[in-house]
Amino acid sequence: MNRTSYWLRVALGAAWCACSLGARADTVTVAVAANFSSTAQKIAADFSRTSGHEVRLVPGATGKLYAQIKNGAPFHILLSADDETPSRLVKEGAALATSQFTYATGRLVLWSAQANVVDSQGHVLNTPFTRLAIADPKTAPYGAAAMEVLAQRGLLPSLQTRLVQGESIAQAYQFVASGNAPLGFVALSQVMRNGHMSEGSAWRVPAELHAPLRQDAVLLQSGVGHLAAMAFLRYLRGDAARAVMQSAGYE
């Protein structure tokens, strides 16, 4: 075989592989809990680079995502902020039981965008302040956890009129970040960068003050047999994805 023929075959082989990969590449649509949105973006970008598949993320409060799924939204995967919603979808026949697993355990924090406002024990909740932001406890697991903390501390009656509810944990964070509320219960992942607090001050709420924030993933019926969806779930279990989650404060 002469040199020209050899390199021609190499080029044709490379082109065939590229075309083959392109033919297999697909887009997976992932409904993702608002607290996990920024972390999911990093994981999705890494996954796309290594797999060739594209990831479309649709963030929102878990309860609202559930309602959209039940109304026929074309999601392949749900990354929930709890373990109850995926289990419910499985029982209702909307998700595959064998695909459900806990991809992360979240942490709740009381946060202020200002330094030296929130103490290490959360005693600031007993001081005068105007508003306390939380996610809607009816649709957002982190909001439900915040209500549990206030009840455990006996503060719910005195603080009820000062609560400002966001549609999701992302909106609760925005209330505090913008200064519209001096304090708020948010996800640790929202205020942590590369393993450290990015700004402000926070109290990491002890896990025993609320039900565990186990966040489950599940393959929805529209994702059954979808190669990109199944590949993404496999990637989510891997070391690279776990490293990203740990750096964002997830356990």
Residue 44 structure tokens: 């999705």
Q: What is the rounded distance in angstroms from the CA atom of residue 59 to the CA atom of residue 30?
A: 8
Number of domains making up the chain: 2
In a domain, 97, yes or no: yes
pLDDT at residue 214 is higher than 50: yes
Q: What is the enclosing helix (H) or strand (E) of 106?
A: strand 101-106
Claim to verify: residue 97 and residue 115 sit in the same structural domain: no
pLDDT at residue 3 is higher than 70: no
Q: How many CB atoms lie within 10 A of CB 87?
A: 16
In a domain, 18, yes or no: no
Q: What pLDDT, on the 0 to 100 scale, is given for residue 251?
A: 86
Q: Which domain holds residue 89?
A: 24-105+213-247
Q: How many CB atoms lie within 10 A of CB 7?
A: 10
Q: Residue 247 burial by CB count (10 A; 0-12/13-18/19+): exposed, middle or buried?
A: middle
Claim to verify: residue 111 and residue 101 sit in the same structural domain: no
Edge-to-edge, what's the strand order for the sheet holding 213-219? 54-60, 27-33, 77-79, 213-219, 101-106
The model's pLDDT over 137-154, given as tens digits with 9 standing for 90+, comes to: 999 999 999 999 999 999
Q: What is the rounded distance in angstroms from the CA atom of residue 9 to the CA atom of residue 68?
A: 50
Between 34 and 16, whose confidence is greater? 34
CATH code where residue 39 lies: 3.40.190.10
In a domain, 15, yes or no: no
| 2-6, 164-168, 227-231: range with lowest mean pLDDT | 2-6
Tell me the average pLDDT of the chain. Answer: 90
198: confidence class by pLDDT, cuts 50, 70, 90: confident
Q: What is the rounded distance in angstroms from the CA atom of residue 66 to the CA atom of residue 64?
A: 5
| 7-11, 69-73, 122-126, 189-193: range with lowest mean pLDDT | 7-11
Residue 94 structure tokens: 């909307």
Residue 52 structure tokens: 């060739």
In a domain, 10, yes or no: no
In a domain, 3, yes or no: no
Q: What pLDDT, on the 0 to 100 scale, is given for residue 196?
A: 73
The model's pLDDT over 54-75, given as tens digits with 9 standing for 90+, comes to: 999 999 999 999 999 999 999 9
In a domain, 69, yes or no: yes
Q: What pLDDT, on the 0 to 100 scale, is given for residue 192?
A: 87
